[in-house]
Amino acid sequence: MEKTILSVVFLLAGGTLLPVSTLGQDTTVVISSFDALWGQVLKNNPTERVYELNIRKAGEDRAASRSFLYPNVSGSFNGQDNLSLAITPVPGELVGRPGTTYNVQFGKHYTYGTGFGASESIFDWTSVFQSRIAGNGILLNQAQAAVYEQTLKEQTARYYYAVLVASSSLKVAKSDQGLADSLVQVAQKRLNEGVTDAIALNQAKINYNDVTQNLAQSRQLYDQGMANLKILLGKPAGASIVLADSLDIRLEQNGIALSIAPDRNLEVYRRQLTAAVLDRKQKLAAFYPSLSLDGYYGVQQYQNDFGLSFKSGAWSNYSYIGMSLNVPLFTGFANQQRLKSSATSLHIAEIQYESASLQSQVNDDLLLKQYGNYLQMTHASRENFVLYGDNLELARQKFAEGLLATDAYLKVFEDYLGAENTYLNNLSNVYSTQATILARN
């Protein structure tokens, strides 16, 4: 039974539980099937909402990154007090003093200006790739959300099947305990009658204690599984969960279709690779020239005294339109080093994606093979479990009629417990693997 317990523990500890929001005030939840359970978990999981918000945020970031497609328009007003006007030397001939130099101050002490300015990027590949990186960020967030959902579904399936197995194990253990107790009583009676020896009685007690431990461990695993389901469903400790579904371990267990979709983790790696490609292109674009248009339309006013005038003719027009071409020639090797760094990051992303793809193919192939092997082992061990159960019943009848010795009967009972443990262990492995397959569909 030890291997069975360890296997079920693995099912229950297959991942980290994530809390979900409370589902109303009902204290009883009836789960009719795994699909019904998954629907409730998915609906009420707050982390799903977080991923939705992250996707929305990525969309907003992309919209902000596309602002370069539109012109920037701004209004301005400025005033300037020229405390000391610049002096410009001019030939004296201009002021009637030939052969001399005369210092002249041009301008007014107060200058005012107001108007509208606009700029439009015509050629800027850095901004183009930044927008594409932001667009890939949306797809990356969506891929990460899909990975989380895959992991959550696998956890939910493992806890669900663990409870079903533990529940069936409890029923069998209770039956085994009753039979083991009757064996102790008969062994004690026969020892008192001198028909058997103390070894047989001790063995009967050992069997009883083993079955009692198995029963307690199965109950503990059942309680732990139910607690995990409460956490998944956001229910308080006092809530009651009823599984309408059940598992009869004496019946043949049917498998599911051996087909799985690609691991959603691969999409994350692929999006990270795309991000690395775009990042390198953006770093390369830093070497490209940029072209933009600038324009301004406004008015100016010059005054010797502080104050504004709104009289006719007080303001003079001032406007311009221009084109700006910026060609990076030398940036202290900064752009070159950034380009080298992005090329290294791209190489890392390529290796990670290729490695993840190969591992996924191998793991998927192994997963399907494991499921098929575990299913065959389960079918064979179930048949042995049933056969050993039949032998135990036949031995019990012979033992009751005095046709079978106590030690022989105990040996049949031990064989039955061994077959039961093997079967439950294989059954746990089947459902653990099945949970992974369900999460991939």
Instruction: State residue 280's pLDDT score.
Output: 96
The 10s digit of each residue's pLDDT in 283-321 is 999 999 999 999 999 999 988 888 888 888 889 999 999
Distance CA 177, CA 179 (A): 5
Name the pLDDT band for 26 (thresholds 50, 70, 90).
Answer: low
Q: Global pTM?
A: 0.79
For 398, counting Cβ atoms within 10 Å of its Cβ (0-12 exposed, 13-18 middle, 19+ buried), the class is middle
For 177, counting Cβ atoms within 10 Å of its Cβ (0-12 exposed, 13-18 middle, 19+ buried), the class is middle
Check residues 369 and 194 and name the one with the higher pLDDT. Answer: 369
The alpha carbon torsion through 130, 134, 136, 141 (nearest 10 deg) reads 150
Distance CA 106, CA 302 (A): 12
Q: Are 154 and 439 in contact (CB under 8 A)?
A: yes
CATH number of 2-70+124-291+329-439: 1.20.1600.10
The 10s digit of each residue's pLDDT in 50-90 is 899 999 999 999 999 988 888 999 999 999 988 888 888 88
SS3 letters across 78-105: EEEECCCCCEEEEEHHHHCCCCCEEEEE
Residue 351 has pLDDT above 50, yes or no: yes
Average pLDDT of every residue of the chain = 88
Q: How far is CA 239 from CA 33, 38, 230, 231, 421, in A?
A: 19, 18, 8, 11, 32
Instruction: State residue 231's pLDDT score.
Output: 87
